Structure 1
Amino acid sequence: MLMKKYTYSLFTCLVLLFVSCSSDDDTTITDDSALVIGTYSLTEINVNVAQDVDEDGTASNNMLDELDCLNGTLIINVDGTWDLDLVALNITSVTGDFYAIRCGRTDNFTGKWTFQSSVLDLNATNFSTMVLNSSVLTEGVNEDLPGVLNRKFTKQ
């Protein structure tokens, strides 16, 4: 009789052990990459100190307000690839908080991307991760003076 109770208790403990070890990871990972797929236009390149590059009497941190030649198009493809045509921003220190700022050449970049929790990673050393907020991708560049704080691309 004692052996039966012992066997029954051991069997009950084993069942409880297996039940308690079942996976608690019922969280479902959703693939929200469809949110980021599309074509984006460069809408802001913000610098640390407002500049009046076009000499119209109004300084701006957004160099797209100052230079008509700045533009860029970022395409995020369904197949996990991306393509970016971007006019380079050339900044040269002149004196104090004043800089010679002009458009450079148009560069083309390509690669493979990943997207998770609203963060787009272009997996490229030339670019930081970008955060998607509604239809705007923001890349925090955070360069020291004279430099670019961030770039923003808006979905078309």
Structure 2
Amino acid sequence: MDIRSFFALIFLIIITSCSKDSSPAEPKISQEQLDAITGLYNLSEYMVSPAQDLNNDQVFSQNLMEELDCLSASIILREDLSYSKFAMQLNISPITNDLYAISCNFNESTSGTWDLVNGQIVLSEESENSYSLDGSVLTLTQGNVLPEFQSQVFIKQ
């Protein structure tokens, strides 16, 4: 056997011994999970501490949704793992003691991708935060006091 025949035989063995993996990779998120997660979520609670009376009704509330009519936010989680978030940004300034001046500032829109990591929803533009999902309730918990927030709760529509 000459050297060319030998290399041709080796080449043929290598080519025919390699098989293509015909099974597609398992999706990271199942279709059942996608169906349960994707959709429109609207802000229902914006919890702060200490409680505030921003609408001057003599009732202090930890939920700023009860105090500011202009406060709103929505998150759309799509099946292609993209998202859009629309949220009213707040101006928060200390007044005295535990009282704060809080007002709506401007609507901010963000978009990117989302992922399911250890049962938590992570948005690419908020990678330091993760949202817990319990049925149709999406919750971002930070546990901070003003001027930061304790939690934001979104309900699937």
Are the structure 2 counterparts of residues 38 and 108 from structure 1 closer, same or farther at C-alpha, using a change threshold of 3 Å? Answer: same
Deviation, structure 1 residue 145: 3.1
Unaligned runs of 5+ in 1: 1-28
Structure 1 counterpart SS, 2:80 = coil
Deviation, structure 1 residue 140: 1.2
Normalised by the length of structure 1, the TM-score is 0.76
Structure 1 counterpart SS, 2:35 = helix
* Deviations, residues 70-100 of structure 1 (Å, cap 9, x unaligned): 0111100111100011001221101000000
Between the aligned partners of 1:144 and 1:126, the Cα distance in structure 2 is: 21
Between the aligned partners of 1:51 and 1:118, the Cα distance in structure 2 is: 33
Are the structure 2 counterparts of residues 112 and 60 from structure 1 closer, same or farther at C-alpha, using a change threshold of 3 Å? Answer: same
Between the aligned partners of 1:140 and 1:131, the Cα distance in structure 2 is: 8
Unaligned runs of 5+ in 2: 1-27
1:120 maps to what in 2?
A: 121
Instruction: In structure 2, give the amino acid aligned to 1:54.
Output: N
Q: What are the within-5 Å matches in structure 2 for residues 10-89 of structure 1?
A: 31=30, 32-89=33-90
CA contact (8 A) 2:50 2:145 kept: no
CA contact (8 A) 1:33 1:116 kept: no
Instruction: In structure 2, give the amino acid aligned to 1:60.
Output: S
Normalised by the length of structure 2, the TM-score is 0.75
Between the aligned partners of 1:124 and 1:101, the Cα distance in structure 2 is: 25
2:112 maps to what in 1?
A: 111
Are the structure 2 counterparts of residues 148 and 40 from structure 1 closer, same or farther at C-alpha, using a change threshold of 3 Å? Answer: same
Deviation, structure 1 residue 116: 4.1
Deviation, structure 1 residue 34: 2.5
Instruction: In structure 1, give the amino acid aligned to 2:43.
Output: L
Deviation, structure 1 residue 117: 4.6
CA contact (8 A) 1:33 1:115 kept: no
Structure 2 counterpart SS, 1:68 = coil
Deviation, structure 1 residue 36: 1.1
